[in-house]
Amino acid sequence: MTYADQWRALSSRIRGLMEAGQLHAHYLAVRSSDPYGRGRRLHEQCESILAAMQSFRAAFGKSLPPSALTAIDDFVTRHGNLITRKVSCTPDELQERVWAALVLLAAFETEVSFLLSDIQESILARSERAFFHLKRSIVVDTTARDKWLKAFESGEVECEKLGAVHLLLHSIWAFKVNAAGARTDLVFQEPITDVATAERSADGLVLTEWKKVDSQGDPVQRFEEARLQARRYAQGGLAGIELSGSRYLIVVSLREVAVPDDLNEGGVVFQHVNVPVDPLVPSRA
């Protein structure tokens, strides 16, 4: 289960407890006594949620965004004692503690849900920016263009390596899949076994399939070959930091080639990118 899935469950639990607290307050407005211990039960549930929150923090601490980690740690430090402290108090004092805990939990849930809601969009935006930056760099930077021309002459693998290093500058860890459909590092051409390193080094992991096409080749066929390889990948998103809804099919060419429309298969969008290593300026093209 990814941290996004786990958080959705915890978030639903907090929202459900808020509804129970509102129902409890409604009954107290009609009848001021609490003979069945509704308030105490609500307090016990607040304690249980705090423990679940700390377990969530421990399980996904390495992959959660820093802002979410800060929000969790701040909540536990500032308000954990209010929820867990065992003291004798009057029924009215207990109700005040319960309502205070519920309001604080509601505010916390809203904040963390917001912090975790745009991870996929952020990874997608970083990926788009990285490819845009790469193509523009080749146009204006002769050193970059020479590197890509050399990689193009050396073959597909060299293009993969150079592309992966460029994407990492944008906090994107690009990988491909092997024949068995498992993640493979583009630089070292080895299976990705130390996932923690990728999580610490990048904001997102993105599946990419790189193909080279020469002047006599068929770019449409190369895009199709990349898509067939990318379809092998059946693993789920990695702890929420993996771009799960998009896969990039990149064809490296000498000049710019026509790019097919993006293709949606079962909720996964195959995005097509062309990287020309010796492009013509727009007016000449």
pLDDT at 168 over 60: yes
CA 106, 70, 6: angle at the middle one, nearest 5? 60
The mean pLDDT of the chain is 88
- Among 6-10, 176-180, 251-255, the range of highest mean pLDDT: 251-255
Distance between CA atoms of 26 and 237, rounded to whole angstroms? 43
The whole-model pTM stands at 0.63
| C-alpha distances in Å from residue 66, one per residue of 57, 142, 244, 258 | 11, 37, 21, 40
H-helix segments, 31-155: 38-60, 66-84, 91-117, 119-140, 142-154
Q: Are 207 and 176 in contact (CB under 8 A)?
A: yes
Confidence of residue 280 (pLDDT cuts 50, 70, 90): confident
Is the pLDDT at 232 greater than 60? The verdict is yes
pLDDT band at 260 (very low <50, low <70, confident <90, very high): very high
Residue with tokens 């509704």: 38
The predicted-structure confidence for 31-63, as pLDDT tens digits, reads as follows 777 777 888 899 899 999 999 999 999 988 876
| pLDDT for 283 | 60
H/E stretch holding 253 reads: strand 246-253
Question: Which has the higher per-residue pLDDT, 77 or 28?
Answer: 77
